[in-house]
Structure 1
Amino acid sequence: MAGQIHYEVFSRKTPQSGWVLQNALNDRDSAIAQARELLTARRAAAIKVTKEVFSDDTGEFRSYTLLTEGLPETKSKPKVVSPTEPVCTSPQDLYSRHARETIARVLEDWLRRQGATVFELLHSPVLCERLDVSTNDLTHAIQKIAIPESEETGASIHEIMRRWNNLSDKAINRVIGDGRKKVFGEIDLTGDIAAQVARLGQSPERGYAFGGAVARLTITDRNAGRKLMPLTRIATAIAGKPELKWALDVIETPLVELFARKGGLAEILGSDITLGQGLAFLTHMVSGEAIERLSAVDSAIGRALPAPPAHLEEFARLIRQGHFRDLRLQAFRNVLSELRGVKRLMPENPVGEIDLLRAMALALTAGSQQQVEREDISDAFIERSKMLVSSAFVEGLTRGAPHCLEEIERILWLCENVVGAANKKQAARWLMSSLTAHRFETDLRDPKRPAGQRLQLLALLQRRVSKASLGETDTEAAHARLGQIGAQIAGDIQLIPHILKGSKTPIQRITALLSFATGQAGPQGALSELAKAEVMKQLRAPDVRASLMGDPAALGQLKPMLVQAGLAA
């Protein structure tokens, strides 16, 4: 028996979404009209109207679809559950590079509190016992792995956590048990290190046994720099023995972890070393051979990049010999990371900081091994250049300049060494700000200084601007300003009339005028154009033509200058 009847309006916002109830009405026509209005107003991709009839017999509503309009439903593809097996299924799998990186991430806080690396954890019974009793830290670390794995595979998070708990228990018990069984070796740094390592190499799991011996030496100190000392001793002792290359590969793992650890780089370099000095040392590890080649050509490179301390120099030497490729890559990452940061390299010496960055850019680019490295280097120096053109840096760079010319010299040095179009543009703004300052014009037009010296200085500045690789518009603006000042100085001293009156011979007159026409003795611009016009006038004078015709050698010497000035072909 039928009872109450009403009509429900449903809509679907997109073809992939589900039906959503919009309204329930007693009137059929009103329900249909409201549904079609949703479709017409584009507030729904599809609409549906159903008739709901209450049955007194069953006590439930029966639904009948009266109308369906709009885009057809599109079923979303069901999530595919990954059929792959877990990455780590045994304790040995935790020693792979990917696994170590994951452990370093999920146990970062715990490792920092212990002053330890993942390598030490995986080879030290002492650290494994500490982790075993740190239930909360271990559980939280497993959760960090299990939750994303569950979302990716669709597996139960509890089942995944159970599996990882079992694996971590096995790994911890294995290291603790092997420690009791004396599986891990010992190395006496005062004895024959190479012979001791060779004996450990006879173990079935030589890398594991040797790793335990190394961890025993390094866990005694929390400081990354002091952890490095025994590794340096061992690496130096075995580097020249090809049969022990496997041991060098084992040592590289804790080395990379120490350089990658947060705060580890500062401990390795030392608190008394500035960031700039530290990056210079790391650059030796990345591009040591390139620094040697560049220093032979330009000694300033060697001065800007001094040799690192003995323990880092040893690793730089081994890298040059073809060892420790991963360590070189980590040092390279450290350099780029610091370049992209906001810390000043030499806070009290902005000029030296530019010198250092220039030397680093040359060395890193020359020592790069792949195109992707060169691209990363370029991006990092563009990012660093943003800081160099900031107001704080420029103010520090120009502070203490004895006169405006020194200030402009420093800004030009900045313009020559920043990279990136936007950074070049900002550097050009700083340059034009100094060139258009009243102080600059006053100093250059000071009659106390010889006019010839001032004009040659302006010509030199123009050449420096050209070398700075600024934008075309900015270069032209700087040239025009320098040329304007040059013309004013020439006007102050009546330069052209003075040359015409003071020259003893016509050839001397032409030579002096050409030196200004070509931009050698003064800036190009209004002054050089005046000098060119006067040269053309003089060449038409009978006495000048007679002098040149009577002295072919002098004419031959003048011809290159005439060509350079655009007055001859």
Structure 2
Amino acid sequence: MTSQTPSPRRNLEPLCASAADLYTTAAREQIGRVLEAWLAANQATPFELLHRPDLIRKLEVSSRDLQHAFQKVAVPLALARGASVHEVIRGLHTVADQAIARILRDEKQGLLVTVDLSSFAGACAAAETDFGYRLAAGVAAYMAAAEAWEDKVERLLDLVVAAPADGPARTFALGILEPALEDLCGSQPGLAQLIGAELEMGCFLLALVRLAYGGTIDAIIAVHPTLQKLVAPLPAPGARLARHFEKGDFNRLRLVISRRVLAELATPRRLHPGSAVGEIAAVRGLAVAMTAASGPLLPPEDVAEAILRRSERLVEPNFVNTLLHEQNGLVAGLDALMTVLESVTGEANRRRALRFVEAAILAPQFKPDLLNAAGGAIGALQVLARTHRRLTRAGAGVVGMQDLLDGIGQTGGAIDLEGGVIADLAGGVTAKPKRLAALQAMADGETAPPGPAARHAADALRKLGVSGDQVEG
């Protein structure tokens, strides 16, 4: 399910000292929180409420909703400022009354701009920049004609296309439209039209990254196919907005989206509830996507910190226990632990992940359990060889890694000797080329871990009169 975690910009300082302050991003976010239910019931955003006289009058009639909104804002502000709640509410009323009086007066005097697709560019060129809220009222009215959230999003994106092509007039137009888009992205039904509905947290965040950095993410998916399972194609409206982002439009909104992704990652919420394997996949997918998209709007150091914090949760004992309980047998469990090691960042997290792998491999019952789970000595040697290769790549530089690699080699040697694997291959009745190829694969560490077993295979090859690194035939 999608998330509506408050923006990291939220604070307890006074947001509004004058009517103009109500139109800022921070103030609109606050309005969206305290009037969330009312706005949802009226299928509107804070941007629309601030610019539509009909909605303003409707809210004034619903005095209880308005009073509750003032109280939600006033109580924390009063505590932060050491003032009385009544004093803060009086100040908020003053600011709200000023804004309401201004827009209702301008409506009565016919000063609010009326726009449609054919007139929007001209209206932007003719508008006085000091009275941009009048043009914004026209945008809000144009959005109001929509019968559903999908239509509201499409109508707003149509205005983006209808905006002036370049110059100061285009800058002015996009400055009017960007707050409207911000509030659509801040509302759950509006955002669902852009990225899809009912997404698990990991897919939700990946969809946000794709929305803001579509071209980059599409390129990554092309060379990283596993991401295709996590990052669904954007709905048509989202793809339209993503193309505008690619052109360099609405960078402030891209920044808002980027901050939201980082803020969500900082929460304790699971990315894939109900599946530890899915949780790891989501962390890995976000790490790849966000690293590729990092830049001025998504700082690399912030991305690294966010993934580091998520990595800490992947090496918590409770999570690892849940992960192992999801696996079917020892081999699958060992592979899952290796995936944790391959996925986490930060030296401390990598050390903890390695300790879990070490505890599994060095347990007294590991060898007999492995032989049983792998279907015999040959299968067990193959599992150990695969684990050795993965450890060599993922555990590079982690303290204790070499000792663990040596331990895997010793276990492989014991399994070989006890099972007579290499001796049977060397003296078997199978066609010689096949026996030599099997021994070479073991000597090369492909089907037996480096160590005693691999050396035994190399010795057997020499006794059979084979030299060189490869066996042909």
Which of the five TM-score ranges fits, normalised by the shorter chain?
0.7 to 0.9
Equivalence for 2:136: 211
**CA deviation vs aligned residue, 1:376-415 (integer Å, no higher than 9, x gap):** 1112122222333345544554445443212222221222
From 457, 474, 496, the equivalent of 2:383 is: 457
Query: Is 1:185 aligned with 2:109?
Result: no
Equivalence for 2:11: none
From 102, 111, 119, the equivalent of 2:47 is: 119
**Alignment TM-score, normalising by the size of structure 1:** 0.64
1:209-358 equivalence runs, <5 A: 209-218=134-143, 227-238=152-163, 244-260=170-186, 269=195, 271-358=197-284
What's the CA shift for 1:247? 2.0
Tell me: CA distance 1:444–1:380, structure 2 relative to 1, closer, same or farther (3 Å). Answer: same
Tell me: CA distance 1:142–1:201, structure 2 relative to 1, closer, same or farther (3 Å). Answer: farther
**CA deviation vs aligned residue, 1:255-294 (integer Å, no higher than 9, x gap):** 2233345897568655533333322221212322222222
Residue 310 of structure 1 aligns with an amino acid whose one-letter code is A
What's the CA shift for 1:459? 1.2
Residue 416 of structure 1 aligns with an amino acid whose one-letter code is E
Tell me: CA distance 1:453–1:185, structure 2 relative to 1, closer, same or farther (3 Å). Answer: same
Residue 422 of structure 1 aligns with an amino acid whose one-letter code is A
Equivalence for 1:403: 329
Paired residues of 1:128 and 1:172 also in contact (CA < 8 A): yes
- Secondary structure of 1:235's match? helix
Paired residues of 2:442 and 2:448 also in contact (CA < 8 A): yes
Tell me: CA distance 1:127–1:529, structure 2 relative to 1, closer, same or farther (3 Å). Answer: same
Tell me: CA distance 1:202–1:144, structure 2 relative to 1, closer, same or farther (3 Å). Answer: farther
* CA distance in structure 1 between the aligned counterparts of 2:286 and 2:138, rounded to whole angstroms: 37
Aligned alpha-carbon RMSD (Å): 4.6
Tell me: CA distance 1:300–1:103, structure 2 relative to 1, closer, same or farther (3 Å). Answer: closer
Residue 173 of structure 1 aligns with an amino acid whose one-letter code is A
Higher relative contact order (CA 8 A, sep 6+): 2
Paired residue total: 449
From 432, 450, 453, the equivalent of 1:524 is: 450
**CA deviation vs aligned residue, 1:475-530 (integer Å, no higher than 9, x gap):** 235424422331122112335655665699xx999998776555344112343466
**CA deviation vs aligned residue, 1:54-98 (integer Å, no higher than 9, x gap):** xxxxxxxxxxxxxxxxxxxxxxxxxxxxxxxx998864x43663x
Tell me: CA distance 1:495–1:256, structure 2 relative to 1, closer, same or farther (3 Å). Answer: same
* CA distance in structure 1 between the aligned counterparts of 2:166 and 2:411, rounded to whole angstroms: 69
The worse-fitting range, judged by mean Cα deviation, of 441-450 and 516-525 is 441-450
What's the CA shift for 1:465? 1.4
Query: Is 1:374 aligned with 2:308?
Result: no
Equivalence for 1:359: 285
Equivalence for 1:52: none
The answer for unaligned runs of 5 or more in structure 1 is 1-85, 549-553, 562-569
Tell me: CA distance 1:184–1:513, structure 2 relative to 1, closer, same or farther (3 Å). Answer: same
What's the CA shift for 1:218? 4.4
The worse-fitting range, judged by mean Cα deviation, of 239-248 and 179-188 is 239-248
Tell me: CA distance 1:236–1:350, structure 2 relative to 1, closer, same or farther (3 Å). Answer: farther
Equivalence for 1:94: 21
Query: Is 1:195 aligned with 2:96?
Result: no
Paired residues of 2:330 and 2:370 also in contact (CA < 8 A): no
- Secondary structure of 2:119's match? helix
- Secondary structure of 2:302's match? helix
The answer for unaligned runs of 5 or more in structure 2 is 1-13
* CA distance in structure 2 between the aligned counterparts of 1:290 and 1:451, rounded to whole angstroms: 46
**CA deviation vs aligned residue, 1:101-141 (integer Å, no higher than 9, x gap):** 14643784246534454423432223444566758468758
- Secondary structure of 1:484's match? helix
* CA distance in structure 2 between the aligned counterparts of 1:87 and 1:355, rounded to whole angstroms: 40
Equivalence for 1:61: none
* CA distance in structure 1 between the aligned counterparts of 2:344 and 2:87, rounded to whole angstroms: 55
Residue 392 of structure 2 aligns with an amino acid whose one-letter code is S
Tell me: CA distance 1:418–1:236, structure 2 relative to 1, closer, same or farther (3 Å). Answer: farther
Equivalence for 1:169: 97
Equivalence for 1:83: none
Equivalence for 2:357: 431
Q: Which has the higher strand share?
A: 1
What's the CA shift for 1:309? 1.2
What's the CA shift for 1:437? 5.2
**Alignment TM-score, normalising by the size of structure 2:** 0.75
Tell me: CA distance 1:448–1:527, structure 2 relative to 1, closer, same or farther (3 Å). Answer: closer
- Secondary structure of 2:368's match? helix
Equivalence for 1:81: none
